[in-house]
Amino acid sequence: MKSVWRGCGGVLTLAWLGVLTLAASAAADDAVPADPAPRWWKGNLHTHSLWSDGDDFPEMIAERYRTRDYHFLALTDHNVLSQGLRWMKADAIAKRGGDDVVAKYLARFGKSWVEIRGEGDSREVRLKPFEEYRALVEERGKFLMIPAEEISDKAEGVPVHMNASNLRDVIQPLGGATVRETIENNLRQVNEQAEKAGREILAHLNHPNFGWAVTAEDIAYAVTERYFEVYNGHPGVNQPGDEHRPSIDRLWDIANTIRLARLDAPPLYGIATDDSHHYHQKGGSRPFRGWQMVRATHLTPEHIIRAIKAGDSYATSGVTLADVRFDAGTKTLELAIEPHEGATYTTQFIGTLRGFDDASQPTLDKDGKPPVDKAGKPLRVSRKYSGEIGQVLATRQGSSAEYTLTGKELYVRAVVTSSLPPADPSFEGQRQQAWTQPVGWEWVLEKE
C-alpha cells in the first residue's frame, strides 16, 4: 500500500480523492438541510413599490434588501397583492422617483427581463407580478419574498392600516363603524382566508400614531389583534407621541396592561418595519430603518410567521441581540447584545406590577377641556394612566442584561437603547433600539 501512495498512481489517487471530496462537500452544502438548528433571520414586513405609492420596481427593491443582508421581505402595497397584468406610464414612474428610475432598472436587469412598450408619451413599463419576480430574486435559505398587502382602511375619519403577510388572495378593506370594529373586521377576513387556504398568515396593526388614528384603548380592546408596529421608520408616524398622545412604547404598555388586568387577554407582540416608499432620495420614507429578527429553523413564510407568533423574535431599529431568552423555570429574561464599536448600551426592563393604580383620567388641554385641532374638531386621544403602568423595573448597562421576575409582574419586556443614533434617523433625538416581546404573562392568564 505504502509504495502505491508514494508512486505516480498514488499522487493521482490523492488528486482524484481531493476532487471527490470537493464534489461531495459541494453537494452537501447544496442539499436541503435536515432539521437545521434555529438561527436568526433578518427581515422587513412593510415595504412599498410602484404597485401602489412606492417609487421603484419590486425587483430593484428586493435586490436592495437582499444585498443588505436581509433574509426576508414582504412588499406590502396598499390594497393590492401585486398580481396580474399591470403596465405603468414611464412618465408617471419618472414623476415618482426621477427621470432615471427606468434606466436604472434596465441597467440592473437588462432588456431580456424589463418589458417596455410604446414610445414618447405613451411609453409604458410592465410591473412584474409577485410570482414572476420572486423567481428572479429569491435564493433558498438566503432570501425569501413573502406575498403581502397593506390593508388600508379608514374609520372615524382616520386611517386604519394593517399588514397581512403570506396572503393567498387580495383582501379589500371592509370598513367599520369605529376604529376598533374596523381592525376586527379586517382581521376576521385575514383569519378566514388563513383557515380556508390552510396557511399561516400574520396580520399586524400598523403605525398606531399615524394620523393619531389608533388609541391605546382601541389597541387594547381589539383583542383578536396580537401584533402591532412598535417601530415604523416612516417619519410621519408620530413615533414619540406629543403633548396629548402617548409614545408608541407607552401605548404598548397601556394596551398590554389593560388586556392582562381587565380583559384576560394576551398582550401584543411588537414588530419593527421601515414602511419605505422612497428609494431615490425623492422623499423621506426610506428603507433600512426598522426590521424584525426572527429565530427559526427554516427560511419559509410559515416558519418565520410561526416563530413571530410564538414570541421568538424581536424588533430593532439598529441594536442586534446575539441572544434573547426567557427561562420559564427560573423566570429569568436574559439578553446579550452584539456590541457595536463606540456604542454603550442601556437595557430597561419594563412592566406593570399586580395591584397597580388602575385609575385613568380623560386627557385634557391646559384649560381643562378635551383637546381640539385647529378646526375645533376633538382630537382622538388615549386616556391618561398612572406611571405604575409600564414602569421601569430595572436598568442595566453593558452588553448583557438579565431580569428575574418576582411573580408580581403582569408582564415584563426589555428595551435596549444604544448611545448611537441610527444611520438614518426617522425622528429627532432617535437612538438605535431593540424591543423584546413581553414575557411572564402566561401565568397571569392561567391563574385568572
Report the residue number, 124 or 184, with the smaller CB distance to Zn ion. 184
Annotate 2-11 with b (16+ C-beta within 10 A) or e (fewer).
eeeeeeeeee
**Interacting residues with Zn ion (CB under 5 A):** 150, 161, 206, 275
- Label the pairing between strands 158-165 and 124-127: unpaired
User: Least CB distance from residue 165 to Zn ion, whole Å?
Assistant: 13
Report the residue number, 151 or 333, with the smaller CB distance to Zn ion. 151
User: Least CB distance from residue 170 to Zn ion, whole Å?
Assistant: 16
Q: Which residues contact 95 (CB under 8 A, 6 or more apart)?
A: none
First to last CA, the chain: 76
Report the residue number, 225 or 275, with the smaller CB distance to Zn ion. 275
Q: Do residues 267 and 288 touch, judged by C-beta distance below 8 A?
A: no
User: Least CB distance from residue 130 to Zn ion, whole Å?
Assistant: 17
How far, in Å, CA of 155 to CA of 132, rounded?
35
Report the residue number, 201 or 260, with the smaller CB distance to Zn ion. 201
Annotate 186-206 with b (16+ C-beta within 10 A) or e (fewer).
bbebbeebbeeeeebbbbbbb
User: Least CB distance from residue 152 to Zn ion, whole Å?
Assistant: 6
Closest residue (Cβ) to Zn ion? 161
How far, in Å, CA of 117 to CA of 391, rounded?
60
User: Least CB distance from residue 48 to Zn ion, whole Å?
Assistant: 6
Instruction: Determine which helix (DSSP H) or strand (DSSP E) holds 385, and give its type and residue range.
Output: strand 384-385
Report the residue number, 251 or 335, with the smaller CB distance to Zn ion. 251
User: What is the signed CA dihedral for 380, 384, 388, 391, rounded to 10 degrees?
Assistant: 40
User: Least CB distance from residue 242 to Zn ion, whole Å?
Assistant: 19
How far, in Å, CA of 347 to CA of 190, rounded?
36
Report the residue number, 47 or 437, with the smaller CB distance to Zn ion. 47
